[in-house]
Chain A
Amino acid sequence: MTHSAISRRRMLQRSVCGVAALGVGTAIPQGFVAAAEDSERANENVLVVIELSGGNDGLNTVVPYSNEFYREARPNLSLGVDEVLKVDDNFGFHPSLRGVSDLLEQGQASVVHAVGYENPNRSHFESMDIWHSCLRKGESRQDGWLGRYLEQRIASVGGDVPAIHLGHRQQPFALESLNVRVPTVKELEAFRLLGDDSGGLRELLKPASATVSESSTNELLDFLQDSTRNAVSASRRVTDATKDYQSATQYPESQLARELKVVAQLIDAELSTRVYYLQLDGFDTHAQQPDAHAALLGQWSDAVAAFMNDLNAQGHSDRVTVMTFSEFGRRVAENASSGTDHGAAGPMFFCGGKLQPGLIGQFSSLTDLQQGDLKHHVDFRQVYATVLEDWLGADSAAVLGKSYAGLPIFG
């Protein structure tokens, strides 16, 4: 054996050990790595996605208060000029959106009008799957759009998990991919192994000692082994990262606000995680809509405003964007139960320090409807493409399957 062959083998061995210790590499799925601090990555842009589940009534969120057809279609539910928070002569925010309205005035919020897709589906689950996967039923849906973006990043990833899902709900399909396991953090206190034997248990389950080489013929077992390893290392990293967080910002008392506070903590701790995903459920307002909708919008707006204030105070707002969407809007005409049924196009919202503030795009016509619902002017994949290209610096065509015209969202 030649000298160079020996040293090459040594080097390989060393790098294999290194990879195993870090928990990254081709054979090992992406995990957290306490050791691999990457200061360059810690300054990259962060995307926070908030999903309003159930179908948010966009028409009563960004209200065309001066439009006579709006008031005609909604004799009981329409909001008047005295109630809305005026944005301009045509549109005003729902009165619960004080926080987001203030952000708009500070130049930290924008609305994209009339977002949707051709031939809209009015099933919650099907429409949500379309938003998550960018594929229609019948096409092979193996992963979500954010999952595909995360896969793209694998080669260059440094240490921390590339994305985190917060909340008690099941993980959104948008984050699914073949190789990247995204952890779900329900609450920080429960995100660690409890008990006197937690040390031994972590030893048993942790990445380095786990059965990396034992590949089975059972994909579910492989998946469980990956997931267990990731859970144990993610828990350690998140617990360490959030130990000493101090914030002067008062967050409201809501689940979403608690979760956004955790996100602020993790961003401040300089995790290199780039995508955070949160959900707020309950927007399926078929009956008695006014109070429920006002409460939900208030929770969303107050939480996002507190989060932005916190980021502004900590100096992180220029590298954070919050994108909010819902699987569909609601029917233009109200129903007999003081509610609204499933609809189609609706607004999307952006909050952050690097936006072009204001209302973007054309509002849907209230007279030219499709089966009683608003038509879209912007395909949601145009919005995704803009976020991928202009905010995350990714190749949007590779993620979305083709190129979509971008929008003037970022400043």
Chain B
Amino acid sequence: MNWLNEIDASWAWQPFEPDDDATWDSALAAHLFRRAGFGTDQASLTESLTRTPNETVDELISRNEEADSFRTVADSLAKTVLAGGDPMKLSAAWVYRLQFTPAQLLEKTTLFWHGHFATGAEKVQSASMMWRQNKLFREHALGDFRALTQSIAKDPAMLIYLDSASNRKAHPNENFARELMELFCLGEGNYSEDDVLELARCFTGWEIRNERFRKNRYQHDSGSKSVLGRDGNFDGEDAVQVVLDHERLPYFICRKLFHFFICDEPSPSDDLLKIPAATFRNNDLKIAPVIRQMLSSNLFFSHCARARKIKSPVESVIGLLRGLEVAADSNQIAEGLRSIGQGLFYPPNVKGWDGGRSWVNSSTLLGRANLFQRIIFDKKTRFGDETLDSYLKRFSATTFDGALDHFQRCLMAVPIGSSARELLRTQFPMRQKLSDSNLRRLLHSVASLPEFQLC
């Protein structure tokens, strides 16, 4: 059953205006911050209520670059680990960004492109190339999809990942050409096997030497090619434009953005996507306008989107850290994310993470609970630079109910079910003030609940 088919597409993409049925409260603001970023703490939730939803989205979109001061710190952190060459250390440097960036949407979208143009460090085996690619995603995250795709087509990490570091005239390498159409731009079924062969010819002579892209004109096939119904003496750049001009491109990208920002399932029809797809095409494939339209839409703030996603490991873990202003060990978190299925710089394959239900299985659920156990009970873990009981005192939330409500408001998309709440009641002293260790235990229990995993 596809209940998205019931939705009126023109209503869906109109900017949302709060009314009596849907008030702009901290729950709705928290929804926006979880999706457009990785969630936020009580103080900034309260602060955002002084503005309208649209103003809040605009503010998120307008932070399309990191503040210089933050970038300097985060970049220098990344660069110090490059010398060692271990991409896992680079992963920890990215965790630092996710935890502390003031430009949440920019970082969220950077993560989206990492999953879209998925490249794995296991095979590339070079922290510096992975780092250059990561900077590329951040630079274009809310920018121009044309420029992003042209850059990726020449990106050393990508081409090495796809075994396309050399591409000779006599035997064109099909791999990048195939994935460009299948996974990056159009989707399976929108091109033929002949298109793959012809497109591969356009990229002949493109190669990576000493971690740098170069064109080897002796190996370029300069003959005429026929790609997706167009004929010409295409080189690689021309070929990328031909693919980008294809009518299916805006739908393919918008469908993926839809699942990333709005809901996991069901899949939206072309009819429902027509408006954002037009926005994407009419803005010459600029990314920010289409994301702005999605995040400020009626659909986004409706029951069709709220709690209709399963938190990715990053959303789950970074969400808890940001929601309670936790400072925790980035290395531990980077390793932990990898163990529960979302190692940064370690996507499962060139298709990236499928998301949705595929995040969840027995091992990853036990893994989430165990990772939270390690983070929450780590003596070094601080909440707003304090112990958890002192931190919650700021919000007068140190009793069982007060703490539970605070966790629910800052971390969760749905309330805790009544039977789980009852059971927790029996496990914790009810009325008196809870100790720091009891509050940590309560937080661990909450973070292990199925309800907690909804975004």
Contact = CB atoms under 8 A, between A and B. Distances in A.
Interface stretch (A241-249, A333-341, A352-360, A387-395): A333-341
A204 B420 contact: yes
B174 A341 contact: yes
- The bracket for how many chain A residues form the interface is 35 or more
A234 B341 CA distance: 19
B178 interface: yes
Interface string B151-193: 0000000000011111010110111001000110000110001
B418 A214 contact: yes
A223 B357 contact: yes
A15 B51 CA distance: 57
A184 B364 contact: yes
B174 A342 contact: yes
A159 B183 CA distance: 41
A13 interface: no
Contact of A123 (B188, B341, B367, B444): B188
Nearest to B350: A124
Contacts of B363: 168, 183-186, 190-191, 231
Interface in B319-372: 339, 341, 348-349, 351, 354, 357-358, 360-367, 369-370
A171 interface: yes
Interface in A184-205: 184-186, 190-195, 197, 200-201, 203-205
B450 interface: yes
Nearest to B446: A204
A235 B364 CA distance: 12
Contacts of B193: 122, 371
Contacts of A183: 361-363
Contacts of B414: 218, 221
A205 B369 CA distance: 11
A296 B418 CA distance: 51
Interface stretch (B141-149, B224-232, B305-313): B305-313
B420 A220 contact: no
A126 B189 CA distance: 10
Given A197-B441, A221-B454, A225-B450, A336 B357 contact: no
B257 interface: no
B175 A214 contact: no
B178 A169 contact: no
B154 to A, nearest CB: 18
B109 interface: no
A201 B453 contact: no
B134 interface: no
Nearest to A198: B373
B362 A231 contact: yes
Contact of A190 (B170, B182, B370): B370
Given A218-B307, A221-B451, A224-B453, A337 B173 contact: yes
A223 B308 CA distance: 12
A53 B418 CA distance: 44
A219 B307 CA distance: 10
A286 interface: yes
A211 interface: yes
Nearest to A122: B193
Interface in A270-298: 281, 284, 286-287
Nearest to B306: A218
Given A137-B188, A171-B361, A220-B454, A286 B449 contact: no
A234 B454 contact: no
Interface in B269-287: none
B454 A218 contact: yes
A211 B365 contact: no
A210 B450 CA distance: 10
Name, among A121, A191, A336, the residue most crowded by chain B CB atoms within 10 Å (CB to CB): A336
Contacts of A192: 366
A194 B369 CA distance: 8
Given A197-B445, A200-B427, A335-B173, A224 B454 contact: yes
Contacts of B444: 195, 197, 201
Interface of A: 53, 121-126, 137, 165, 168-171, 182-186, 190-195, 197, 200-201, 203-205, 209-211, 214, 218-221, 223-225, 227-228, 230-232, 234-235, 281, 284, 286-287, 335-337, 339, 341-342, 371
**3 closest Cβ contacts across the A-B interface?**
A336-B171, A183-B362, A286-B163
27 contacts: A121-B188, A122-B178, A123-B178, A125-B188, A168-B363, A183-B361, A183-B363, A186-B363, A186-B367, A190-B339, A191-B366, A193-B366, A193-B373, A195-B377, A200-B445, A204-B424, A204-B427, A220-B310, A220-B357, A221-B414, A223-B360, A228-B449, A287-B163, A287-B165, A336-B166, A339-B163, A342-B174
